[in-house]
Amino acid sequence: MKILVTGAAGFIGFYLVKKLSSLGHVVAGIDNINNYYDVNLKYSRLLNCGIKREEIKYGIKQESASLSGFFFIKLDLTDREKLFSLFAEEKFDCVCNLAAQAGVRYSLENPYAYIDSNINGFINVLEACRLYAIGHLVFASSSSVYGLNEKTPFSVEDSTDHPVSLYAATKKSNELMAYTYSHLFNIPSTGLRFFTVYGPWGRPDMAYFKFAASIFDNKPIEVYNNGNMLRDFTFIDDIIEGTVAAINTVPSVNSQSAAGEPLSPPRAPFKLYNLGNNKPEKLMDFIETLEKALGRKAEKVFLGMQAGDVPATCADIDSARRDLGWEPKTSINEGLKLFADWFLEYRNKDGVSH
């Protein structure tokens, strides 16, 4: 297939580009390379995919020097004219939208960044999918849509009407927007609710990366909610396997209920899946495992709950198991060891701002 990956310089996008290319697909990657976190890390990911920083020019296609069938274009999703031109020219079979303004706490101070990218940018993707007859849209949602849901594990059948951050609200909006386009224009769409993704080449704004940087610099780490947090930490390789399985599983119009009764009108070709480890870890256990992996102890400063945070996340992955044949395989010990090995090498080689 010819597949467009938005957010290709991001953490998940970078891994997805490499995986899809290795499977023989033609892959186009776009990213606006914003400065929400250290752009040097984004350019390092692109270089790892055969795209040289000095050759990147806005709106201009650059072929990879190392990944077969991959090309990159620096492009912002809000640039509707250039985005539509790309769709018209390339005739994609599938679009995987991973581009978004990420982060819960950042949304408390920078709300417009989330509306611009996650709402305005996403409607441009949906319109392009409609106008250019895309065969399948896969898009990133988030476990944050569950808000303060007290029932665990979180199921895709649960209510998501009470988000507690603007970031979560924009992700919930994406799901509703995609469903509407799927219903109105018969665009097969799959939303993936990612649960606390971690691993090598990860995002410096994520807690585990901040912890590693502070431990490395002999600085205290800030532990929110006094460490009484549960998180369904999910390793990047498992997320990529689930995403590829979703790309290959195109939802169809559902004309029958689960009980076999006819649905009128038939359901849209739309599906939502949780991609999570299905095994929440106590934050303090996670920190202890990271300390062992880095070979250093952390000085801890215990703080209260941050606005927009939730105390626990846990994914019900029954539907992903059933429909996608997907199962997470990486333990927290394995995953954090791989992250720590990469972090120490990257930090010593290139430096990481934090």
Percent of the chain with pLDDT over 90: 79
pLDDT per position as a tens digit, 163-203: 999 999 999 999 999 999 999 999 999 999 999 999 999 99
State yes or no: pLDDT of 159 exceeds 50: yes
DSSP state letter for 143:
G
pLDDT per position as a tens digit, 197-227: 999 999 999 989 999 999 988 999 988 888 8
In terms of Cα–Cα distance, which of 235, 251, 266 is closest to 94? 251
pLDDT at residue 326 in the model = 98
Tokens 């006819």 sit at which residue?
Answer: 262
State whether residue 58 is helix, strand or coil. Answer: strand
Cis peptide before 265, with omega less than 30 degrees from 0? yes
pLDDT at residue 312 in the model = 82
User: Which of 122-131, 160-169, 246-255 has the weakest average pLDDT?
Assistant: 246-255
pLDDT at residue 354 in the model = 36
State whether residue 78 is helix, strand or coil. Answer: coil
Name the more confident of 63 and 348.
Answer: 63
DSSP string, 92-117: -SEEEE------SGGGGT-HHHHIII
pLDDT per position as a tens digit, 85-100: 999 999 999 999 999 9
Cis peptide before 200, with omega less than 30 degrees from 0? no
Assess whether 167 carries a catalytic annotation. yes
- For the chain, the C-alpha Rg in angstroms (whole number) is 20
pLDDT at residue 313 in the model = 87
CB neighbours of 350 closer than 8 A, spacing ≥ 6?
40, 44
pLDDT at residue 350 in the model = 58
Laid out side by side, the sheet with 70-74 consists of 62-63, 70-74, 26-31, 2-6, 94-97, 136-142, 189-194, 270-275
- Asked if the 2-197+233-276+313-329 domain carries CATH number 3.40.50.720, the reply is yes
Average pLDDT over residues 291-319: 87
Mean pLDDT of the chain: 92
Exactly one of 106, 167, 208, 224 is catalytic; name it: 167
Percent of the chain with pLDDT over 70: 95
pLDDT band (50, 70, 90) for residue 261 = low
In terms of Cα–Cα distance, which of 156, 140, 99 is closest to 239? 140
State yes or no: pLDDT of 154 exceeds 80: yes
